[in-house]
Structure 1
Amino acid sequence: MEALPKLRVLILKSNKFDGNMSLPSRSNLPFQKLQVLDISDNEFVGSLPQTYFKNFRAMMDVKENKTDLITSNDDYFFLRYVEMRITLKGLDQLLTRLLEAFTTIDLSSNNFCGSIPDSIGNLNSLRYLNLSHNNLMGHIPASLGNISVLESLDLSSNKLDGRIPSELTRLTFLAKLNLSMNNLVGQIPQSTQFSTFENDSYVGNLRLCGVPLTRKCNEENGQQMRPEEEEEDDEEYGFIDGFGWRSVVMGYGSGIIVGIGFGCWIIRFGRPRWFTTRNSHIHNTSYITVFFENRYV
């Protein structure tokens, strides 16, 4: 399929396809007109297809090469009447027209591993990128900041580490960001665009700090600075249903005080009539024992 000269849309999602897409290409210019690549929810393995990222011509400089996209009446007919269902910004959508500048890559829910190559930044006209739910490792490449028209970026549920590149603040069209469930650290970059993203964009990264998270950062190096209360909570042994050791101690303490008080009252003022009639053979001290047993059993 790499050599098909007019292939613009390739959707193979939700199958059981497998194999390695990072093998050497048989074409000098693979998929040169491809605008939509969706192979999500399959079983592909290996590293991400760096060769393709370097050669997706229809995802590079679309504004400048706009006239090159439509070369015949057949191209115009396809762009006008194509119908496809894809996931954009986390929502399943049906598109009945392929705009000239519409570009998307969805490689989510596979078994890709390794790092995200810097060459992905060559796709400076890419609108939507989804690499979530794979086994990707390493840092988020700063070259993503070159994709100035990017509207949606989903890198969630991987094993990415390191800081969030400050270059991502250049993505002024970014409306959807999901970096959750990774191992990212340090301060979240601050910009007008990043201030629009909520906590769910970063959940599951325990060493991230800064707005919009409640974890504060050390002003000197931007590392996470944990409040004393949070450190104390980590040292506590939790109990089922949310009861900590403080609650248990308070409960036992209150029970002991009430029990001792009740026992002293019996010793001083005599046994209650209901105790006397039912348990006249039991010694006063046994009342305290019975009370404790009934209190906690």
Structure 2
Amino acid sequence: MGNTRFILALMVVVLLPNFGVSFSMKSTINISSGQLALLALKARVNSDLLATNWSTATSICNWVGVTCGSRHHRVIALDLFGMNLSGTIPPDMGNLSFVAFLDIGNNSFHGSLPIELANLRRLKYLILSNNNFNGGIPSWLDSLSKLQNLSLNGNNFVGVIPSSLCFLSKLEFLKLNNNNLQGHIPVEIGNLRNLRFLYLHRNQLSGSIPSSVFSISSLLEIFLGENQLSGSIPSIPLKMSSLQTIYLSLNNLTGHISSDMFDRLPQLKKLGLSDNHLSNSIPMGLFNCRKLEILSFSYNDLEGTIPEEIGNLTMLKLLFLGGNNLKGEIPRQIGTLLNLDALGIERCHLIGPIPSIIGNLTLLKVLLFGENNLTGEIPQQIGNLTLLEILE
């Protein structure tokens, strides 16, 4: 028994240093793998900062923008946001297999995205906003199954929105706005059950808005404006009660604005439906949305009057109703909206005097009521609006 213990002890003494050497070599290999990937990026980028800071004389874990894991010393995050970088993304970046956070937004990167990025299976945040990337949005992005934030906005991407993106089940932020995307919004977008922010505005998307968009109960903000979308606004189910922003302005939407939809949106703060072809009257259900701060119905085909219930929306900061077929007088209740910064009721068919109570809106910077059939003089109380910058 004594000999056995001696032999075991000897094995520990002999093997432990070798294990340490093996672990050390493995760690060195890991760091070198990350180093090669980042040096390949450095070679493709014009940057005095990276040229001096990303030096082989120091550990990559000390390089600017690089974060390493404390246990395995692998690169887990790369944050180069707004560093005035220009260049392309090398395929070697796909070797950063431990990276969970990648942000190179607000730079001047260009070219297409290399397919090797599909190897970054731990990636949760991919932020490429405000660069000059081009080509189509890659369908292989669905390989990044852990993605929570996909921000490709502010680039030159073309083509359609790949339906494969709609199977990133953990996605919370989808930002594809400010590109040159065309085609329809995929019906499969309703699969994104954890989505909170959907930004598709300022593209060239066409077709109707899929009803599946309004089936995502987790959504807080929907931005689909400044496209070429047509058809009517889908009905909104009860489970959308968390929705805070709907921006559909500058499209070709038609039909009536349902009054019932607003009964289901108690948290609504911003509603933008301007510059469409929506008809009917201002929906009365809207006045139950007491948290509204921005309301824009301007330049549609709305008829009827401005309801007195507009005074219920005391949180309003921006109210734009101009460019419609509204008739009747300006309701005095508008003068109770003391938080208003801008009021636009121009180019309608309003009659009667300008209510002197508008002089109570001392925060107003913009007041538009021209090209109506108003009578009487401009009330002296308008002089109370000392912050006014635009009066038409």
TM-score normalized with structure 2 length: 0.42
Classify the secondary structure of the residue corresponding to 2:213: helix
Aligned to 1:45: 158
Q: Deviations over 1:73-119 (max 9, x none)?
A: xxxxxxxxxxxxxxxxxxxxxxxxxxxxxx21110100000010111
Letter aligned with residue 41 of structure 1: G
1:30 counterpart (138, 143, 148): 143
Letter aligned with residue 206 of structure 1: H
- Give me the whole-angstrom Cα distance separating, in 1, the residues matched to 2:371 and 2:211: 44
Verify the 8 A CA contact 1:142 1:168 in the aligned structure 2.
no
Identity of aligned residues (%): 31
How do residues 246-285 of structure 1 correspond to structure 2 at under 5 angstroms? Answer: none
- Give me the whole-angstrom Cα distance separating, in 2, the residues matched to 1:50 and 1:159: 19
> Can you give the 5+ residue segments of structure 2 that lack an aligned partner in the other structure?
1-116, 287-296, 305-323, 329-346, 350-369, 376-392
- Aligned length in residues: 186
1:8 counterpart (104, 120, 124): 124
1:142 counterpart (211, 214, 225): 211
- Give me the whole-angstrom Cα distance separating, in 2, the residues matched to 1:192 and 1:106: 28
Aligned to 2:226: 157
Higher RCO (CA 8 Å, separation ≥ 6 residues): 1
Structure index of larger Rg: 1
Change (3 A) 1:243 1:183: closer
- Give me the whole-angstrom Cα distance separating, in 1, the residues matched to 2:263 and 2:225: 22
Q: Deviations over 1:53-87 (max 9, x none)?
A: 12x0323xxxxxxxxxxxxxxxxxxxxxxxxxxxx
Cα RMSD (Å) of the superposition?
A: 3.3
Classify the secondary structure of the residue corresponding to 1:166: coil
Query: Deviation above 3 Å: which 4+ runs of structure 1?
Result: 167-170, 193-200, 225-229
How do residues 169-208 of structure 1 correspond to structure 2 at under 5 angstroms? Answer: 170-189=239-258, 190=260, 191-194=262-265, 201-208=272-279
Change (3 A) 1:201 1:208: farther
Q: Deviations over 1:263-288 (max 9, x none)?
A: xxxxxxxxxxxxxxxxxxxxxxxxxx
> Can you give the 5+ residue segments of structure 1 that lack an aligned partner in the other structure?
60-102, 218-224, 234-241, 248-297
- Give me the whole-angstrom Cα distance separating, in 1, the residues matched to 2:269 and 2:123: 38
Change (3 A) 1:170 1:183: farther
Q: Deviations over 1:117-154 (max 9, x none)?
A: 11110001111110010000011000112211111111
Letter aligned with residue 2 of structure 1: A
Change (3 A) 1:168 1:14: farther
- Give me the whole-angstrom Cα distance separating, in 1, the residues matched to 2:221 and 2:268: 12
Instruction: Note if 1:128 corresponds to 2:197.
Output: yes
